[in-house]
Chain A
Amino acid sequence: NAGVTQTPKFRVLKTGQSMTLLCAQDMNHEYMYWYRQDPGMGLRLIHYSVGEGTTAKGEVPDGYNVSRLKKQNFLLGLESAAPSQTSVYFCASSTLAVTQTYEQYFGPGTRLTVT
């Protein structure tokens, strides 16, 4: 059981370049999320999805776009990378839970450096 996987694991971009981070989960989870983690700031939610074909903005959405064309995949795009987007990106998924008492399962992360 792979759980949540992310590709690539590492990437170095130059300012202005674009890229897509791929997240895949095999647990049939409804919810998927993209976070970034920076030193001293904890994880911050970029975008999330509550189901196939739907996405919503999180706390820090500017400069990112997402798509959820298939339930198991959640893509994060950077159209024009900036040094401020240097970070570790984590994807996560969780089951739909009315009470919101759910566990999030995280992927191994993508370390992105923008020069």
Chain B
Amino acid sequence: RKEVEQDPGPFNVPEGATVAFNCTYSNSASQSFFWYRQDCRKEPKLLMSVYSSGNEDGRFTAQLNRASQYISLLIRDSKLSDSATYLCVVNGLTGGFKTIFGAGTRLFVKA
């Protein structure tokens, strides 16, 4: 089993749609969680951190469920510019510093 798992997609949605991605992680000692965005043939960039209480940044909402070991990303009112791959990232200190990236979920928003 992979330490961080994401649905690879692709998710094809029309503009204005709401789309949700989930990510599960296997290490219960994981300490911090993030969503990164990666455009085609570009480097990953931080989209938002994920906090236990949930957090929102404009059209984006991230949630963490420690009991079930998953995090989610909700995108409301999708824009064409949201088309990208979304990477789930989990940090922990088990056995030393460790950052695990999920393989990513591809999103295509169409007009």
Contact of B103 with A108 in the complex, beta carbons under 8 Å: no
**A 3-40 binary contact with B (CB < 8 Å = 1; else 0):** 00000000000000000000000000000010100001
Least distance between A29 CB and chain B CB atoms (Å): 14
Given contacts A48-B97, A100-B93, A101-B49, whether A90 and B32 have CB atoms under 8 Å apart is no
A-side residues, CB < 8 A to B, are 33, 35, 40-45, 48, 50, 56, 90, 99-101, 103-104, 106-109
Contact of A42 with B96 in the complex, beta carbons under 8 Å: no
CA of A108 to CA of B43, assembled, Å? 5
Q: Count how many chain B residues have C-beta atoms less than 8 Å from C-beta atoms of the other chain.
A: 22
Name B32's contact: one of A33, A101, A109 (CB within 8 Å).
A101
**B 26-62 binary contact with A (CB < 8 Å = 1; else 0):** 0000011010000000111110010000000000000
| Residue among B91, B92, B99, B104 facing the most chain A CB atoms (10 A cut-off) | B99
Question: 5 A-B Cβ contacts within 8 A?
Answer: A40-B103, A42-B101, A43-B44, A106-B44, A109-B42
Contact of A100 with B31 in the complex, beta carbons under 8 Å: yes
Contact of B96 with A90 in the complex, beta carbons under 8 Å: no
Name A90's contact: one of B44, B92, B93 (CB within 8 Å).
B44
